[in-house]
């Protein structure tokens, strides 16, 4: 197969003609072969970069969410929170029988309204034990002002996300009103339960939605303010977040019937399902770019066969078989596909692994941010290239390129030398 490979490489523009032969006739074929190669490379690179960014986006948001949220929640809905707080250690002991559980802490969760002067802001209020919270989340390490330990029982202090505190224009020591959804009905009408709180700290998780909506108070203060509104129970952290669904099912079997167990994948099921669907759709859409480049390769090979009819006739005259002629163009198309795929993988991986440097440079150059944190939850372009994705993209590109060479190669093998030479 030595001469077929040499001729195919020459037609692909990857080998030079022998000394004394004219390369003028090969220029056009080399040009269209090069354009096909560039098209495949750009399609592969775009696919690698986009999937890497989507992987990075998913990992970044997930890690920032879990820095505030627990891996598993054991909750009792619509009940007296003070009663649950009195029994939370029993539930924690039952959950602690599972070897994967590393920490447990009580909590109360409810919706509330924060009032400061003429500003009103809805918030997700979480009651927690500041002494035990570090066992289930990283909240204490995310404090940028104040300390989480300041949330003592009866102090009615509150810790807000950075964006939420800024929207209410609050500083440490300022007071605000927390309105609970339940209240009392009197002849004058409905009166919501209200309690004055003092801002004792501000946290920043890096996840905009939480920084703009979460408020933390002491778990005992939350039980008094919300009483039987919302849910209460135990927050758990396990050794492997990816095993949360399995561990959650095991813990649920050890709990009483009215107790519900939910893991982080269940609580955020809609968001993660949307990201996975978007990733699959983007893969299919961007694969069409590679498919278009493969069709461009097919058309270029058809033109190459038409341009090389005289060469094919001469080779057939001196003894080349139709199978050998087909191999020449199979080699040509395969080399274009392989080189284009390798260039695309290299270029795409180079961008994907250095996007944390490339994007800030472009943002500074243009004076505009690509990721407004109010929309995308994070402010930096993430990237997480995965070898499995890169290998899959490369294989798909090579398969499409090989399929594009079949018809032109068959067409070249069916040419009759007598008819070609008669017309030439």
CA distances from 229 to 71, 77, 79, 172 (A): 23, 8, 8, 28
Please tell me what DSSP assigns to residue 152: -
Check: CB of residue 315 under 8 Å from CB of residue 325.
yes
Tell me how many domains the chain contains.
2
Q: Which residue is listed with tokens 């109360």?
A: 108
- 238 falls within a domain: no
Distance CA 3, CA 396 (A): 29
What is the pLDDT, as a whole number, of residue 391?
Answer: 92
Sign of the CA dihedral 219, 224, 225, 231? Answer: positive
Is residue 134 in some structural domain? yes
- Decide which of 208, 229, 250 is a domain's last residue: 229
Measure the CA–CA gap between 27 and 6, rounded to whole angstroms: 17
Contacts of 50 (CB under 8 A, 6+ apart): 282, 286
Residues 26 and 127 in one domain: no
Q: pLDDT 10s per residue in the chain (424 long)?
A: 577 777 777 777 665 544 444 455 556 666 777 788 888 999 899 889 988 888 888 787 777 777 777 888 888 766 677 777 777 888 888 888 888 888 888 888 888 889 988 888 889 999 999 988 888 888 888 899 988 888 998 889 999 999 999 999 999 999 999 988 776 565 555 566 788 999 999 998 877 788 888 999 998 888 888 877 778 888 899 888 878 888 888 888 888 777 888 888 777 777 677 777 877 888 888 788 888 888 888 888 888 788 777 877 888 788 888 888 888 888 888 888 899 999 999 999 999 898 878 877 777 777 776 666 555 555 567 788 889 889 999 999 999 989 988 888 888 888 777 666 665 5
Query: How many helices (H) and strands (E) would you count in the chain?
Result: 15, 10
Specify if 254 maps to a domain: no
**Same domain membership, residue 412 and residue 280:** yes
110 within domain boundaries = yes
Give the predicted TM-score (pTM) of the model: 0.69
CA torsion angle for 352, 342, 37, 356 (degrees, to 10)? 10
- Quote the CA–CA distance of 123 and 176 in Å, as a whole number: 13
Cα of 384 vs its chain's centroid, Å? 8
Task: Check residue 20 and give its pLDDT.
Answer: 44
Closest CA to 42 of 348, 402, 355: 348
Phi, psi at residue 50, to the nearest 5°?
Answer: -65, -45
Shared-domain flag, residues 305 and 165: no
| Domain that includes residue 96, residue range | 79-229
pLDDT of res. 11? 73
Same domain for 306 and 196?
A: no
Asked if residue 56 belongs to a domain, the reply is yes
Give the integer Cα–Cα distance in Å for 316 and 325.
8
Residue 302 sits in the same domain as residue 399: yes
Residues 6 or more apart whose Cβ sits within 8 Å of residue 144: 162, 202, 203, 204
Q: Are residues 126 and 34 in the same domain?
A: no
Query: Do 84 and 41 fall within a single domain?
Result: no
In the prediction, which pLDDT does 22 show?
Answer: 46
CB 218 within 8 A of CB 151: yes
Residue 37 and residue 87 in one domain: no
Confirm whether 241 is domain-assigned: no
Cα dist from 311 to 11, 59, 314, 334, 412, whole Å: 11, 55, 5, 20, 11
Whole-angstrom Cα distance, residue 81 to residue 369? 45
Cβ neighbours of residue 35 under 8 Å, at least 6 residues apart?
296, 300
In which residue are the tokens 């924690």 written?
A: 92
Residue whose pair of structure tokens reads 């998780």 in the numeric block: 205
Same domain, residue pair 418 and 276: yes
Of 112, 111, 199, 127, whose CA–CA distance to 158 is shortest? 199
Is 404 found in the same domain as 280? yes
**Does residue 132 sit in the same domain as residue 90?**
yes
Handedness of CA 312, 318, 324, 330 (dihedral sign): negative
List the one residue out of 309, 339, 329 whose CA is nearest residue 404.
329
pLDDT for res 28:
67
Output the DSSP codes for 1-21.
Answer: -HHHHHHHHHHTTSSPPPTTS
d(CA 398, CA 341): 7
116 falls within a domain? yes
Within-domain flag for 201: yes
Burial class (CB in 10 A: 0-12, 13-18, 19+), 185: exposed
What is the predicted pLDDT for the residue at 15?
55
pLDDT at 409: 87
For residues 192 and 281, state if they share a domain.
no
Last residue of a domain, one of 229, 257, 285: 229
- Cα–Cα distance between 356 and 383 in angstroms, integer? 8
Residue 19's pLDDT is: 46
Alpha helices in 199-268 (DSSP H): 208-211, 219-226, 244-252, 264-267
Last residue of one domain, picked from the residues 229, 257, 283:
229
Give CA–CA dist 306/317, Å, rounded.
17
């Amino acid at each position: 197969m030595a001469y077929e490979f040499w001729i195919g490489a020459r037609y692909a523009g990857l080998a030079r003609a022998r000394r004394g032969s004219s390369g003028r006739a090969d220029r056009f074929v080399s040009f269209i072969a090069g354009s096909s190669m560039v098209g495949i490379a750009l399609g592969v690179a775009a696919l690698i970069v986009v999937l890497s960014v989507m992987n990075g986006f998913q990992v970044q948001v997930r890690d920032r969410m879990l820095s505030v949220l627990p891996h598993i929640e054991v909750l009792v809905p619509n009940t007296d929170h003070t009663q649950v707080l009195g029994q939370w250690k029993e539930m924690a002991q039952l959950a602690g029988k599972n070897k994967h559980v590393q920490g447990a802490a009580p909590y109360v969760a409810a919706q509330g309204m924060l009032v400061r002067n003429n500003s009103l802001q809805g918030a997700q209020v979480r009651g927690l034990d500041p002494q035990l919270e570090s066992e289930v989340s990283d909240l204490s390490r995310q404090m940028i002002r104040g300390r989480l330990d300041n949330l003592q029982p009866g102090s009615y202090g509150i810790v807000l996300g950075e964006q939420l505190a800024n929207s209410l224009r609050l500083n440490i020591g300022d007071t605000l009103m927390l309105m609970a959804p339940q209240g009392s009905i009197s002849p004058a009408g409905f009166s919501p339960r209200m309690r004055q709180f003092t801002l004792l700290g501000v946290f920043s998780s890096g996840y905009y939605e939480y920084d703009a909506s979460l408020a933390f108070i002491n778990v005992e203060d939350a039980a008094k303010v919300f009483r039987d509104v919302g849910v209460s129970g135990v927050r758990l952290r396990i050794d492997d977040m990816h095993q949360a669904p399995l561990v959650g099912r095991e813990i649920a079997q050890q709990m009483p019937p009215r107790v519900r167990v939910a893991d982080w994948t269940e609580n955020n099921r809609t968001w993660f399902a949307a990201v996975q669907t978007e990733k699959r759709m983007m893969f299919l859409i961007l694969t069409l770019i590679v498919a278009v480049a493969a069709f461009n390769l097919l058309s270029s090979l058809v033109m190459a066969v038409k341009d090389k009819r005289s060469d094919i006739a001469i080779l057939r005259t001196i003894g080349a078989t139709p199978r050998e002629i087909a191999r020449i163009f199979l080699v040509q198309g395969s080399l274009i596909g392989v080189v284009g795929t390798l260039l695309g993988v290299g270029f795409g991986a180079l961008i994907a692994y250095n996007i944390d440097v490339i994007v800030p440079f472009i943002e500074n150059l243009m004076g505009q941010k690509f990721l407004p944190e109010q929309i995308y939850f994070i402010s930096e372009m993430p990237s997480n290239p995965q070898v499995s994705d890169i290998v899959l993209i490369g294989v798909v590109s090579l398969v499409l390129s090989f399929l594009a060479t079949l018809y032109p190669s068959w067409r070249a093998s069916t040419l009759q030398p007598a008819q070609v030479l008669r017309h030439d």
